Structure 1
Amino acid sequence: MLHCKKLTCVHEDRILFKDLSFTANPGMIVQVEGLNGVGKTSLFRVIIGLSTPYAGDIFWHGKSISTVRDSFHQQLLYIGHKTGIKPELTALENLQFFQAMHASHLHLNLWDILENVGLAGYEDITTSQLSAGQQRRVALARLWLSDCPLWVLDEPFSAIDKSGIAVLEALFIKHAQNGGIVLLTTHQDLTIDDSLLSKIILTKTIGNAYV
């Protein structure tokens, strides 16, 4: 369980959101909505520990993440605006590197995973030579290799076509049905069933959560 309690985030003397509280239980997909600049990315950076909130706290299974930081980070996968892939490696080598850190998924076929994200035929191209959208697809391919219960995904559908979005939505649903938690931001309308999907709406003045 992830619980955010009365979070306040300030950027350059401007309150992005104030007293924001919500809980994401296993089996939930939580979509954060709002216009550009309202603090969606800032919220995710606070949740994963890259930024410190002005006020409030974040709890993972009832414990403040400040006291269980290492174990919390081991249980989350974050994909932000920066892909986090190694530009000197090929798409396949990036997945092989990630797969080596998740031995439980050594049986998965990496070529099939690259096909899932529309990169069939690009396996042996150095990722520095790929387009920004293709590099993002390499990053998203790591989702198939992750056994982390918490996925935090900032605009995962960016530069992804409709068929790719459908594939990712199915993966999110599978992760939630297996007891995982997905937090994501997107401007896309999701087709995920309301029994799995909850929403947090941030406004321009202060952030209010409706879950």
Structure 2
Amino acid sequence: MSVLTFNNLSCQKGYNLLFDDLSLVINSGDILRITGTNGSGKTSLLKILAGLNAQEQGAIHLDDHPVKSEEYQNAVFYLGHLSALSAELSCLENLKYLNALNQPTDEQKLIDALNKIGLQGYEEEYCGRLSAGQKRRVILAGLFVSNAKVWLLDEPFTALDPQGVEIIERCIGEHCKQGGLCLFTTHQDSALKNQKVLAL
């Protein structure tokens, strides 16, 4: 059982105050959908919760561990809205490299993850030859091998077809049923059950 809390968070970009006095408690099993217009602070909030950006004020903890602690960072999987892939590497090589940043995983599990995301037969295909949706799937395959409790997903459905969206929603649902928790941003509707909504 894990609890992610943030208290009195505020974020400012230049002269613009994106959000202020933002507090929330997210428990194991919770799915939080973060909505808002472009520039409202959705990505900034996820980056702050991932420890990539600093908040103006406020505190963030996972259980008793602060955001910059090793315990917190080891428990978080962050997915940005851009696909950080090398065009010169294959799908499998890219996934192997990205996954090694967090944990060692044997090659068969990575191949299985690519299969689950709908990229069976593309293991050795160079990412430079893939469509935008296929590139997104390579990154999202990391969800199937992640041991992180907390998933922070920025626009995970971008460039995906309806089948791809369904695969990821099912993956998020299963993760949270097993005691994980997920925060994600999206401009699209989501069929995920029991999701809570935070509007910025």
TM-score (ref. length: structure 2) = 0.89
Partner of 1:192: 192
- Give deviations 1:24-45, integer Å, cap 9, x for gaps: 1111111101111101001111
Render the CA deviation track for 1:97-129: whole Å, top value 9, x for unaligned.
4566645x6485444422332323322122233
Give matches, 1:1-211, under 5 Å.
1-66=3-68, 68=69, 70-98=70-98, 102-103=103-104, 106=106, 109-194=109-194, 197-202=195-200
Give the drift of 1:158: 0.3
Give the whole-Å Cα distance in 1 for the aligned partners of 2:186 and 2:62.
Answer: 24
Change in CA separation of 1:63 and 1:93 when aligned onto 2, cut-off 3 Å: closer
Q: Give the superposition deviation at 1:88.
A: 3.0
**How many percent of aligned residue pairs carry the same amino acid?**
37
Offset, 1:59: 1.2
Unaligned runs of 5+ in 2: none
State the distance in 2 between where 1:180 and 1:120 align: 27
Q: Are the aligned partners of 1:98 and 1:145 in contact in 2 as well (CA < 8 Å)?
A: no
Number of residues paired by the alignment? 197
Distance 1:153 1:72 in 2: 16
| Distance change in 2, residues 1:172/1:108 (3 Å) | farther
**SS of equivalent residue, structure 1 residue 92:** helix
Segments ≥4 residues shifted beyond 6 Å = none
> Residue 199 of structure 1 aligns to which amino acid in structure 2?
V
Ranges in structure 1 where 5+ consecutive residues have no aligned partner:
203-211
Q: Which amino acid aligns with 1:56?
A: G
Contact 1:99–1:106 (CA under 8 A) maintained in structure 2: no
The 1:109–1:54 alpha-carbon spacing in structure 2 relative to 1, beyond 3 Å, is closer
On the 8 A contact 1:102/1:145 being kept in 2, the answer is no
TM-score (norm 1): 0.85
Q: Distance in 2 between matches of 1:96 and 1:54?
A: 35
CA distance in 2: counterparts of 1:61 and 1:86, whole angstroms: 36
